Each structure stands twice: as C-alpha cells, then as structure tokens.
Amino acid sequence: MDRRKFLVSASALAGASAFGLPRMARADAAKTAVEAAKQYSGTEISIVWEAGLQSLDPLNFSGPMWEEQTGIKVKVIEVPTAEMFTKILQEHRAGTGAYDALNVIPAWMPDLVRAGALEPLDAMVDKYGYRDQLQTIAPVYRDNQMTVDGKIYGFPDDGDVFIMYYRKDVLSDPKIQAAFKEKHGYDLPVPPATWKEFDDVGSFISDFTDNKPYGATFFRDAPYAQFMFQERFRNEGGRFFDADTMKATINSDAGLKVFNDWLAENEWMPAGVQTWGFVENLAAFLKGDSAMTISWPPYGRWGAGYGTDEEALSWVPKSQIAGKVGYSMPPGGHPQLAAGFALSISASSKQKEAAYLFIQWLNSEETSLQRVQLPYALRDPFRDGHFESPEYKAKWPEAPEYLAALKAGAINGLLDLSLIQTDRYEEALRQGISRLWGGDDPQAILNDTAATWDGITDKIGVDKQKAAYTAWASKPNAYPS
Amino acid sequence: MVSGGGGSAVALAPGRLADRNFKYYMIFPAVLVILLIGLFPVIYTLIISFQNLTMMDEDTSFHGLMHYRALFEDARFWESLLHTFIFVAVALPAELLLGLAMAYLFLERLPGRQIFVALLVLPVVTSPIIAGATWRLLFDNQFGPINQILGWFAGEPVPIIWLVDPNFVYPAILIAEIWQWTPFMFLLLLAALSNVDKSQTEAAELDGASFLRTFRLIVLPAIWPVMAIAVLIRALDLFRLFDVVWALTRGGPGTSTETISIYAYVAGFQQFETSYTAAMAFVVIVILAVSITLVLRRLEIDR
Amino acid sequence: MARLSIRGLHKFYGKFEALKGIDLDIAEGEFCVFVGPSGCGKSTLLRTIAGLEDVDDGAIDIDGEVVNTLRPRDRNIAMVFQNYALYPYLTVFENIAFGLRARKTPDTQVRERVGRAAEMLGITALLDRTPRQLSGGQRQRVAIGRAVVRDARLFLFDEPLSNLDAQLRDGMRAEIKRLHQEIGKTTIYVTHDQIEAMTLADRIVLMRDGLIEQQGAPLDLFERPATRFVASFLGSPQMNFMPCRLERRDGAATIVFADGRTLAFGAERSADLSAHEGRDLVIGIRPEHMSRALPDRPPAAGAAPISVLVDLVQPTGTRTYAQFRIGEVEVTVELPAHIVEHPGTTIDLLVDMTRVVLIDPKTDKVLSNGTGETG
C-alpha cells in the first residue's frame, strides 16, 4: 500500500466511521469521480460501446446521469461487436482522438495494449482512489481481465459467462423421468452434469415429446459456437497448444469428440440449428420450444420475464417459461467466460482524465449495481456485491438461484483464449466450425485448423507466442483445475 | 487554310501554336488532380507492400518481395481469387442475358410499364448490405419464405439450409447478386434498345430475317458500346464483390465463398496485416489493370 | 404480283380508333397511293398490310389468302421506310443482300441479283460503302434497291421522299414511277403530298380520320371531288371556298355573295341547279379557273364576270397568284406570269362557272361538280 492509497483509505475510513457506514469508503469512488469531473463541465467525451441493446445503458441511463451530475456530455459511438477491435485500432492508427473511453473485449486487450492503443490506468486509479473498489470485482474478472503485463488497462465491467438454463418442469416430469430411467437405466439427472448425461437427456426428450419441446437447442452459428467450442473442448480435457513445442493440439481426441458430439446433437435439435445465433436460440427457449440451453446471463433474466415489458425489449418474445427455469453450470462444470467487456481509455484520447473519471464512475460499486440491474442493457453482474445484492435478489422469485449460478460461473469459469493476435486463431476456428456445418470431415477440419494455427504462430514467432500462451495458460481459469 | 506566304501567315503561326497548346494548359490542372487521386494510392500501396506493417509492428524498412512470395504460396488468396472468378463468370452472363431479356420485354408497350420499370429498379438503389441482410432472412431455413414456397411445390417441408449447405451457398449468393444487379443491366440495355431505330428491325423482319439474325446484325452492333460499358462496369463491381457475400455467408462455410475483397478486408482490417494486404491489393490492381486495358483495346478495335 | 383486298379493317391504339373500317381493293400491278393529312391512318393502314401492326377486326387478303395472322417475314412484302431504315453496320451490298441472305439464297445468285439491282439504281459504285457515307438520295436508292432485289409480291413505300430536298424529290419521284413501269409490281405508296399522289398514282386513296374519304383515278378525284375535304386537299394552290346563296335571277341560277356581288351560271348548269335554289351554299372555285377579262374579247359561254380589288400579288415565275377578298374570305386567283397588278388596283375577272363546285355547308358534301374537263 503506497502512501497515497493509504491516505485515501484513511480518510475514507474516517468518513465512514463518522457516518457509521462501513461501506461508505467504497461508495466514494463514484462521488470522487463526480467531484473531480466537475472541472470538465461543459466538455464532451466519447465512448465506444457495442451497438444495439448494450448502448442503451450510456444512452438512456448512465450517460444522462453523468451529464446531470458533472456537466460533461457523453457521446456514445455505437460499433457492432465484430468491428470494435478494428475500429479502435484503426482510430488509434489514425490518431484522431475521436475516441476517449472504450469498451474492450478482454481477450483482445493484450493485442490492443501491444499495439499501443490503450492507456495504462494505474496512475489515475491511484490518483482517484479506486484500487479498493477494484478489489471487490469478482476475482476471475479482476485477476484476468484487468491487467496486461502487470499494468491496469481496463476495468472489468461485464460478468459474461455461459450458464445452463433448463426447464425444471420438463426435466422433472414424472412420465419423462420414468421413461428415461427405463431406457437408460439411471435416474434422469436434474440438471445433467456431464455431456454424456446431457446428450442422453436431450435426445431422449426430443424423442419422447416429439420435439415439443426439443431436448435442447444451442447457438451454432460460428461466431457464437466458437465460444462453445472453447468451453467444451477444455471441459473434455483438451489443450489448445502443446506447452513445449507450441504446436496446436486442437485436433486432439477432445476436439474431435466435441465436433462429433455436435453433429450427433444436431440430429435431435431443430433443423437448421446450424445457423442459430443469440436471438434464434433465445426465441426458441423463451417460447418453451427448448428444454435446455446454454447462453449468456440475459436469457435468465428475460426467461423470468424480468424487464421484458420495456419498450427496448419489445422484440424479445414474451416468456412462456417464467418460474420454470433452473440455472446451473453447463456440463463439465466449467463455463466459458465468453467475451465480456472492460472499460478502457484510448491512448490517443485528448481528454483522458475526464474519460477516466467517467469509467471509474460507471464501474464503481454504486453505479455498476444499478447498471447490471438495467433490464435491457446486457451488462451482467461482475462484482461480489452484485451477486449478493438484496435488491437484485428480489427482482423475481428465482433471482437468488440465478445470481448464485452467475457467482459459481465466475468462480469456475474458463477464460477466452488470449494470445498475440487472438482473433486470427479464433477466425480459423470459426471457419472450421462453418466447414463442419458445411459437411466436411471433422478430423480433416481440425487438422487444417491446427495447421492454420501453427502457420499463424510461425508468422508471429513461436517463442513470442509461446511466452504469451504460457502466461495465459498459467492463469487458474485457463483450464479446468 | 493555307495562305500563300506573306506577313499575315507568319504572324499567325505563333498565335496558332499558342492556341494549340492553350487547351493543354487548360486541362493540365484537372489531369494533375486526377493523376494524384488515382496514382497516389496505387504508389502508396506499392510502397507499403514492400514494408512490413502489421498489427503490432510499424516496420517501414524495405522487405523486398517478401509479401509477394508469401502471397504466391497463400492457398487462401488463390482460392478467394478463384471464388471471385466463379462469381464473375456466372453472375455476369446471367445478369446480361436476364437484363437483355427484360429490356426486350419492356421495349413493347405494356400496361403499367412505367410502374414496373420503377419497381424493377428498386434493387439497384437498395444498399447491397441491406439487400444481403434481406436475402439472409429470405433464405432462412426456419422462417424464410423461400423454403416455404419450395415446400408448396414439393408438397413437403423443404429443409434446405441455404447458407450452410455447400451445395446451396453459391446459388444463394448468386441469386441475391443477380437479383440486385440485373436491373442495372436492364436499365442500360433498355435505354440502348430504345435507341435502336425501330424501322431497322421492322425492315429486317420484312426482309425475312430471324430474331437471332436481326439481333446479331442490327441490334447488337447498335447497342454494343453501351452493352460493353455495362458489362465492364458490372465485371469490375463483381470482381470487388463483398457486401452480399458478407451478409449471407461471411465467406463461409469455411472460406468456400470468400472473395478477394472479403479476404482483403479480413487480412487488412481485422488482422491488420497491412503490408501483406497491400501486396494483395497490388496484385489485384495489376490483374484488373491488365484485363481492362485488353478489353478496352478490344472495344476500340471493334468500333 | 398480287391482288390486295381489304375488308372491314379496324385498328385501335388503346381507346383511339386509328382505322374505322377500311374496305379497299387493289388490282394486280396497280400503283396505289394512300394520301391524306397526318394522323389520317394512311401509315397505319400500310403497316397493317405489312404485318407490322396487328389488326383488331377485318381481313387483309393477298391473292386470295388472308394474311392477318401471318408474320411480316412470311408475307413476302418489301417495304421502303421513310427514314430508309438502312442497316448502319452493314455495307450497301450487304444491306441490299440482307433479305436474300435471310432466305438462304445461294451466294452466286445474291451477287447477280444485287448487282442487277444496283445497276438499275445506279449505285454500283457505292456497294462497298456503309450507309453513313452516303448522301440522302443515295440512301434512298439503296433502300429501294433492298426492296426490289427481293422477289416480293407487294411493294410498300412509306413516305419515301419526305426526307429529301425538293429537287431530289422530283427526280426520285420520276424514278419510282419509271421503276414501277419496268417491274410492274403491285405497289402501295403512302404520302401526305398531293402532288406525289397525283403524279404517281394509278389510283389515289384519300384518307381522313381513319376512313377512306374517296378513291379513284387522280383526275377523277381532282375534277369530281365528293366532299369539300377532297376538293380542298387536291390542287395547289387550294381551291377557294366562299359562302354564298343560290338564287335565280334573270332566268339563270346565280351565286349571290353577302356583299351583293353575283356570279351567274350558264344555261346548261342553271337547269341542273334548280333544286338548290334559295339555299345557303359554299362555292368552290379553283384559282386556275378564274382569268383576266379581256376587254376586246367577249366572255366564253358559262363565264361570269366579277370585279375585284387585288390586295396581294405573288409571282412564282411561271404563274402569278393574286389575292382579293370576297366578304371575309381571302380568294386566290392564278394568272399568267406577266399580268401583274399592284395591290390596290381593281381588276375584272372571269370565273369559269362550268368548273365551280357547290357544297352543302352542313354536310360538306359536294352537291354539284363542274362539267368541264381539266385542260
């Protein structure tokens, strides 16, 4: 603890004791930011945000609130997910200073840092006394999505994790239970804990109910399925690379098993499930057409009917399944911490200080708790306090179970692969998946993908990449322990 | 106007010379600007392609033909070039023939002709990415009307997964592409056909010539300049085909529908292999420049 | 060679009825001219014969065969278009040979026939050129060559001379007439020019508003028009029409104008006209049927004197036209070239009352034609 931090903590403690509120010290992070930001009143800062629902947070909620408190206008630059990396890097190369604050997908953070696009935040974190509140971010995000080479480049701001959602009413249906046991010789597990069980249960339900509902549905479109692959591959014991030679080992038995299981699952899932993304799968699940699925946290909220009366969510099918949904870890027990967002500052920003204060305020315990409860904004709980929030737990009857599942996910979760030029590896994987749906031989695809990965590694430099991989793989959440 | 010597002729000579050059002085600034706009990017691309700019490195030292060599061995590059050629080779004749057929149809007086022409032109004014997105919905195997309509004919549900099944991705993309750009051909050819002297075709008809003979000897030569330009424009557009493919398949499954533009975009702006992409762009520029020059020369001879 | 017979032909363009029931017979080898003002349907009629326009009702019969549903190429008709319609990307030779080649004529025959046609039209030297390199008259010859080279049974000409300048037109007109005399094919010729019609035709078909107004030999039409329209259309300058009243005075049928001036008929026509006495009529007098009264010579029988005040004089070289007014109507008289008066002088004219026509102003029908012959 350095001197400054000590002083801040001390004064905070003093303030807290004066009001008799022990948590007051942390709430100050938001207040501190607001107070310090007032000197920039009348200016405008920009923030890059994922286009669509995500942007409603700064557009409708946090942006206007910040402006009211500080007089600083917030200009939201909406960018589709797939282009965020490109735009941020392009802007940085051009050096226009058009972007001040940024939303950054953590897996890309190292690449952006290496390209010099992100501003290190340590100095400002200390200056504005934010270290304490960073400590209350759930450890998996705090330890893995905040720093590059020991320096802070972003505040983890979105607890993205794949949760399994299952229909308690369907899986516990006595008729299904009895028939399942007769066929498979063991009690139908609620919920299934392994992929073997999952496939047994899923195929059985599809068969037994004549696809009303389907045993399970997934998103299979490559950009989404790529995350599913990373998760399942590792839960099946797969390793991305040989730690010694840095040769890709994605074409191992684990990889082949995932691909073959996927193909087998498609047989009892809806025709055309290969093209399904977030929305198609969501619609099927909310309509009650699917007994099990795996996805990001909003499925849980909307499935419970929370906030779906909002105008912004009018496109979301009305939930037919409220009260019937159970939440658990996906089979294997280690969910993908898929994507997520961290708040960063552009290295070419001309208003770093004001932008920093904005993201500190956004990310602070006080503000973030409100933001993760916005029904439409897709920001998911990422702080210890979010999981335990009595306010949140009261939102719908099963909310406590939901938050418990998210918290468990944050503990057991698996990090997205993050190397040098991660996207090139992911692109090869995405292409492999789309080839799988196109009917190519799974082993051949995996061999090609591995070869492509090796090619990329060679080009980047085996030693350089090996160092990056080793650093990543040494994190506790890189592989199931 | 050759005057028989004398002072006036001598005095005129320098003036006439100045006049002759004057027009060049007048167009010089415009030519210069066009050259700068046109040539600068090409030269800049060429220079970058000899350097080694990547996402991480701003290495501007001279690397010779390194990227060209890599390009030569890059199967994905050659495949994307091949895919591009396939799209051009199928879509171009299809758009030409369909456009021509439609133009012939609309040459006659039809009730509601103007409304139909206006409707037919709508695809052209639609942004390609939006057209692509719309086709994506149309081709949706679950909610899309195409499978539904095919199902009515087949008498049973048609489960074609258009944008995933390798047998159907090319047809799907080509349908969308041809749908969007046939009206362009149609419009130009309709204008060209309307300008063909009707009495010439009538004379040919009275002379006993068949439709094909009339078309070959009378109509085709008349519309040839317009048609050639239309084909050239479309060929160039098709060579740069991006939006529709991007909206429908993003080049997938795998890279099986990836065009040169998509590969260049991915390499240049998603992976920031700047120099490598510059080399790719330069090779494409060379290919296009050579083929256009050949085509234009051909046109000149024919005229 | 062919006979053409048309019965009850109707043609609509949308709601507009272009042909309102045409009945027409053209004999073998006849040179028939469709004439009339623009929009009268003459070109439409020609195009329906060629097959370039569909027919809505009626029958077109060539040599006893109804050809309504036959495509143009199967009718074996040759046509010369107003704008020549030469094929711009083919040489003159290939232009002329086009129809022969389309019918797969052997090459030697093509050469021979094209050569003959070119010789006949004096364009042998032009065979290697393209239409672009030809003058208007030369193009016209090529267009005619393209028609005559084929052994068509019917020749159609659609205003073929209207794009030529006046001098060329006279020459070509004579050539077309000569050509017809040489090959003697049934020919239909459309024009809006009454001089062309008069000079070329064996028979004139004068059309108006989609109907045949009158048909017959040129002089027949000229001398015995059935309607005011026919009377006015043929002849240049136009026939003069003046409202008048027919009365009997001094035992003779007499034209009385509003200003009181009179023109008396001779005894012969007076008798015929008794039925119309007391009626308001229109009198038609051709400019050439008035002449200067010579003081030393008594007027011919049936000539009526009238004094007029000349207000405009137009010499043309061969003849001089003088204009005067009768009532509100401007009247033209054709006089010998050198009998020129200054405007403002009064002259005495003699009207040849044997040639004037009397028209019913209500129906525009001619009630009484002149008895004399043009001479």
Residues in chain A within 8 Å Cβ distance of B164: 272, 274-275, 434, 437-438
Q: Which residue has the tokens 């009718």?
A: C75
Contact (CB<8Å) A420/B56: yes
DSSP for residue A214:
B
B295 — contact with chain C (CB < 8 Å)? no
Region A383-402 average pLDDT: 94
Contact in structure between C368 and C322 (CB atoms under 8 Å)? no
| pLDDT at residue B302 is higher than 60 | no
In a domain, B123, yes or no: yes
In a domain, B194, yes or no: yes
How much is the pLDDT for C268?
Answer: 81
Q: How many whole angstroms separate alpha carbon B178 and alpha carbon B135?
A: 12
Query: Complex ipTM, two decimals?
Result: 0.81
Contact (CB<8Å) C72/B205: yes
How much is the pLDDT for B11?
Answer: 47
A422 — contact with chain B (CB < 8 Å)? no
Written out in words, the top-level CATH class of the domain with range C4-226 is alpha beta
Q: How confident is the model at residue A3 (pLDDT cuts 50, 70, 90)?
A: very low
Same-domain check for residues B152 and B25: no
Same-domain check for residues B71 and B19: no
Q: How many whole angstroms separate alpha carbon A300 and alpha carbon A303?
A: 5
Summarised one tens digit per residue, pLDDT across range C223-248 is: 999 999 999 999 888 999 999 999 99
Region C270-274 average pLDDT: 85
Same-domain check for residues B233 and B150: yes
How much is the pLDDT for C280?
Answer: 93
Residues in chain C within 8 Å Cβ distance of B302: none
What average pLDDT is seen over chain A?
91
Residues near C277 by beta carbon (within 8 Å), at least 6 away in sequence: C246, C247, C248, C253
In a domain, B141, yes or no: yes
Same-domain check for residues B129 and B194: yes
Calculate the CA B74 to chain-centre distance. Answer: 25
In a domain, B202, yes or no: yes
Chains near B (3 or more Cβ pairs under 8 Å): A, C
Residues in chain A within 8 Å Cβ distance of B161: 271-272, 274-275, 437
Between A and B, how many CB-CB pairs are < 8 A? 75
How much is the pLDDT for B61?
Answer: 86
Residues in chain A within 8 Å Cβ distance of B169: 438
User: If you measure CA to CA, which chain A residue comes closest to B249?
Assistant: A434
Residues of chain C with CATH 2.40.50.140: 240-368
User: If you measure CA to CA, which chain B residue comes closest to C80?
Assistant: B203
User: If you measure CA to CA, which chain B residue comes closest to A431?
Assistant: B254
Q: How many whole angstroms separate alpha carbon B182 and alpha carbon B121?
A: 9
How much is the pLDDT for C151?
Answer: 85
| pLDDT at residue A16 is higher than 70 | no
How much is the pLDDT for A297?
Answer: 94
| pLDDT at residue B32 is higher than 60 | yes
Contact (CB<8Å) A438/B253: yes
Same-domain check for residues B35 and B178: no
Same-domain check for residues B21 and B123: no
Contact (CB<8Å) C85/B210: no
Q: How many whole angstroms separate alpha carbon B122 and alpha carbon B127?
A: 10
DSSP for residue A222:
H
Contact (CB<8Å) B210/C102: yes
User: If you measure CA to CA, which chain A residue comes closest to B248?
Assistant: A275
Q: How many whole angstroms separate alpha carbon B191 and alpha carbon B295?
A: 23
How much is the pLDDT for C2?
Answer: 84
| pLDDT at residue C183 is higher than 80 | yes
How much is the pLDDT for C1?
Answer: 64
Q: How many CA atoms lie within 13 A of B237 on its CB side?
A: 20
In a domain, B60, yes or no: no
Region A423-437 average pLDDT: 93
What one-character-per-residue DSSP string does C270-324 give?
A: HHHGGGGTT-EEEEEE-GGGEEEPPTTSPPPTTEEEEEEEEEEEEE-SSEEEEEE
Residues in chain B within 8 Å Cβ distance of C99: 206-209
- The domain tally of chain B equals 2
Instruction: List residues bridging with C20 in a β-sheet.
Output: C10
Summarised one tens digit per residue, pLDDT across range B116-137 is: 888 888 999 999 889 999 999 9
Contact (CB<8Å) C87/B218: yes
User: If you measure CA to CA, which chain C residue comes closest to B214?
Assistant: C102
Summarised one tens digit per residue, pLDDT across range C122-177 is: 899 999 999 999 998 899 999 999 998 988 899 999 998 888 888 888 888 998 99
Tokens at B35, concatenated: 């050259």
Region B169-192 average pLDDT: 94
Q: How confident is the model at residue B248 (pLDDT cuts 50, 70, 90)?
A: very high
Same-domain check for residues B201 and B266: yes
Between B and C, how many CB-CB pairs are < 8 A? 65
Summarised one tens digit per residue, pLDDT across range C23-34 is: 999 999 999 999
B262 — contact with chain A (CB < 8 Å)? no
Q: Do chains C and A touch by CB distance (3+ pairs < 8 Å)?
A: no
| Greatest alpha-carbon span in chain B | 96
Same-domain check for residues B45 and B124: no
Region A128-136 average pLDDT: 93
Sorted by where each starts, the structural domains of chain A and their CATH numbers stand as 3-156+342-378 (3.40.190.10)
What one-character-per-residue DSSP string does C247-265 give?
A: EEETTEEEEE-TTS-EEEP
Q: Which of B159, B253, B270 sits opposite A271 (nearest CB)?
A: B159
Region A261-281 average pLDDT: 93
Whole-number Cα distances in Å, B29 to B22, B39, B41 = 12, 15, 19
Q: How many whole angstroms separate alpha carbon A354 and alpha carbon A191?
A: 48
How much is the pLDDT for C212?
Answer: 95
Same-domain check for residues B16 and B70: no
Q: B88: domain CATH number? A: 1.10.3720.10
Q: Which of B197, B200, B213 sits opposite C102 (nearest CB)?
A: B213
How much is the pLDDT for A21?
Answer: 41
Interface of C to B at Cβ within 8 Å reads: 50-52, 71-75, 77-79, 81-83, 85-90, 98-99, 102-103, 146, 150
| pLDDT at residue A35 is higher than 80 | yes
Q: Which residue has the tokens 């390499």?
A: B267
Summarised one tens digit per residue, pLDDT across range A183-193 is: 999 999 999 99
Q: Which of B56, B141, B271 sits opposite A275 (nearest CB)?
A: B141
How much is the pLDDT for B18?
Answer: 61
Q: Which of C85, C90, C146 sits opposite B199 (nearest CB)?
A: C85
In a domain, B175, yes or no: yes
Summarised one tens digit per residue, pLDDT across range C298-322 is: 777 778 999 999 989 988 888 899 9
- Which residues form the domain of B31? 6-49
Q: Which CATH superfamily is domain C240-368 in?
A: Nucleic acid-binding proteins (2.40.50.140)
Same-domain check for residues B149 and B251: yes
Summarised one tens digit per residue, pLDDT across range B70-87 is: 999 999 999 999 999 999
Residues of chain C with CATH 3.40.50.300: 4-226
Same-domain check for residues B10 and B150: no
Please tell me whether residue A148 adopts helix, strand or coil conformation.
strand
Residues in chain C within 8 Å Cβ distance of B199: 81-83, 85
Q: How confident is the model at residue C337 (pLDDT cuts 50, 70, 90)?
A: confident
Residues in chain B within 8 Å Cβ distance of A424: 271
- Mutation pick from C73, C82, C104 vs chain B, by most beta carbons of B within 10 Å, is C73
Residues in chain A within 8 Å Cβ distance of B141: 271-272, 275
- The percentage of chain C sitting over the pLDDT mark of 70, rounded to a whole number, equals 98
Task: Considering only residues C220 and B303, tell me which one the structure prediction assigns the higher pLDDT.
Answer: C220
B223 — contact with chain C (CB < 8 Å)? no
